[in-house]
A and B are shown apart, each in its own frame.
Chain A
Amino acid sequence: MTVNDTSAVTVKDATALVRLTDVSKYYGNIRALQGVSLEVSAGEITCVLGDNGAGKSTLIKIIAGLHRHDSGSFEIEGEETVLANPRAALDHGIATVYQDLAVVPLMPVWRNFFLGSEPTRGRGPLRRLDVDLMRETTRAELLRMGIDLRDVDQPIGTLSGGERQCVAIARAVYFGAKVLVLDEPTAALGVKQSGVVLKYVAAARDAGLGVVLITHNPHHAHLVGDRFVLLKRGAMAGSHTRDSITLDELTRQMAGGSELDELSHELERVAESGPDRPSGTTRTPRDDTTR
């Protein structure tokens, strides 16, 4: 366990909604995360970039309250906190939108929208879901963010990836999140849908939320980000503000710089030895039609 660097605490910025300082996490003897620091303030987007296995998921789980960090400090609005569970994170105003979106595919959109925070009316045994409010709010909230849903009664599993992403973000915004944590919101989306989601993210920022955007796409990150934290194999590989780094530099660092050069040489070599390619890999038009 590392000892907290007390000098870092004394210069803390009072406006930070969430601040991680030198946070580490171990799964048994596996080091998932070591010495990672990150902060996000209101009206700011902090991007966490990293390749697969860089520790992005672990970081998100700590912020969301699914896992506890083993060392380092986790402050919410300046107060040292250990989150017991996701509910505690929500109570602190930290809403997380996971890659799997935390939706239940078989349930209608409106039930998913309010899952875990259902409004009720009546008392005692007559305490019941306010179904009309739930339906109407879902429809209105989604419309307000530009999603015109065909039918809020359809199972959420029948929506497209972008629509589901938007429902999940709209849900977090509606429930008064102060900090929005987005896990690869554009990973499975096309160019146009990614644009829609990024516009949302910017809209959430403009509404005064602090956003933690996890991604492995430096282009998306640089479009909206104010701060960039780079992760590599569970450790910090860099921390930059928007002014101090260009898209090209971000892309280069993200891809591992020299590793990318090496890769391009390797690919060239493969291309030169083209005739040796096994014939089985050649695509014929039939491949496309018989799939």
Chain B
Amino acid sequence: MSAPALADERLAPTSLVRRLLGRPELGAVVGAAAVFVFFSFAADSFLRASSLSTILYSASTIGIMAVPVALLMIGGEFDLSAGVMVTTSALISSMFSYQMTANVWVGVLVSLLITLAIGFFNGFMLTRTKLPSFIITLGTFLMLTGLNLGFTKLISGSVSTKTIADMEGFTSARALFASQWNVGSVTLKVTILWWLALVAVATWILLRTRAGNWIFAVGGGADAARATGVPVVKTRIGLYMGVALCAWISGQHILFSFDVVQSGEGVGNEFLYIIAAVIGGCLMTGGYGSAIGSAVGAFIFGMTSNGIVYAQWNPDWFKFFLGAMLLLATLLNAWVRKRAEAK
């Protein structure tokens, strides 16, 4: 800030605390610190480097999808098909490569195109029919779930795909989507890099590009956005294609880590992405939130899901923690919104 030559007497000096209160990520950061401290005491092995790398890995698998889901939510929409779309994307590249005995990369690219087309379909249907995104993507979710199982059984004869580990291009594709490095006793997986890169790119888009301004506007007031000339339809379709792009990344990771894909996977994960975004400060009603927040939300997910194991508790408790955290985060968000909209 430039030196206030003409100090405004109406502008009280904003304390650091007040400024932090205005950040969407605040609730998530406080929550993450609390969960971290809690499990540090509750589980002896929680603070070991190897545990932390496991936590980071599981946070990254959710986080990669939580980023575009957060952007979509800031844009005022949901995508219930995000979870199964990951599986769809993995199935397509695996089965295409296997059936065509093509280079694995061909399957990977075909999968990219088809997954993006699914995202386009979601966005197009939404903007064309003006139905709630809940209904549109619930439909896509069910259709993809059925297609995943149906096609896999039809083509592979079982509920999982055949291994493609011995096929051409597999090694290089694995290097990109599923490589890992051992640093001492710690194993770092490449998804963590994908995750951090996506958070950085999404934050850049949100805060420093026209598209970002449009995303906030479309979610915070679609009519106002349209009236000022913002391409509302393109923005919405773009957001759904962003979800599809990340579903493709996530799907390729699953394929190249395990060689085979289980066709029933992914169901229910869409809620984990939404939870991470909401804990991270995204308003369910749109117009407010951040990509960094979604990363913190995903990190909380990673700490909780693994911390319960390290503390040697019954993992049944995990869902309770997740639910309580979601409620707290939503309450905090509602309070923030009230403050921001106070006339």
Contacts and interface: CB of A to CB of B under 8 A. Distances in A.
Interface of A: 64, 66, 86-87, 90, 96, 98, 100-107, 111, 114-118, 120, 127-129, 131, 148, 150-151, 155, 157-158, 160-161
B224 A102 contact: yes
B4 to A, nearest CB: 11
B228 A115 contact: yes
Contact of B220 (A87, A90, A106): A106
Contacts of B11: 150-151
Interface of B: 8, 10-11, 204, 208-210, 212-214, 216-217, 220-221, 223-230, 287-288, 337, 340-343
Contacts of A104: 216-217, 220-221, 224-225, 287
Closest 3 A/B residue pairs (Cβ): A116-B228, A116-B229, A104-B220
A128 B209 contact: yes
Contact of A106 (B210, B229, B287, B343): B287
Contacts of B229: 86-87, 90, 116-117
Contacts of A90: 229
Nearest to A115: B228
Contacts of A100: 223-224
Contacts of B210: 118, 120, 129
Given A115-B228, A155-B341, 8 more contacts: A96-B227, A100-B224, A105-B340, A106-B341, A114-B213, A129-B208, A157-B340, A161-B343
Main secondary structure of the interface of A (DSSP, over half): loop
Contacts of B223: 100, 102
B8 A150 contact: yes
A255 B217 CA distance: 39
B209 A127 contact: yes
Contacts of B288: 106
A129 B212 CA distance: 9
Q: Which of B226, B229, B230 has the most CB of A within 10 A?
A: B229
Contacts of B10: 150
Contacts of A158: 340-343
A64 B229 CA distance: 11
Contact of A107 (B208, B216, B343): B216
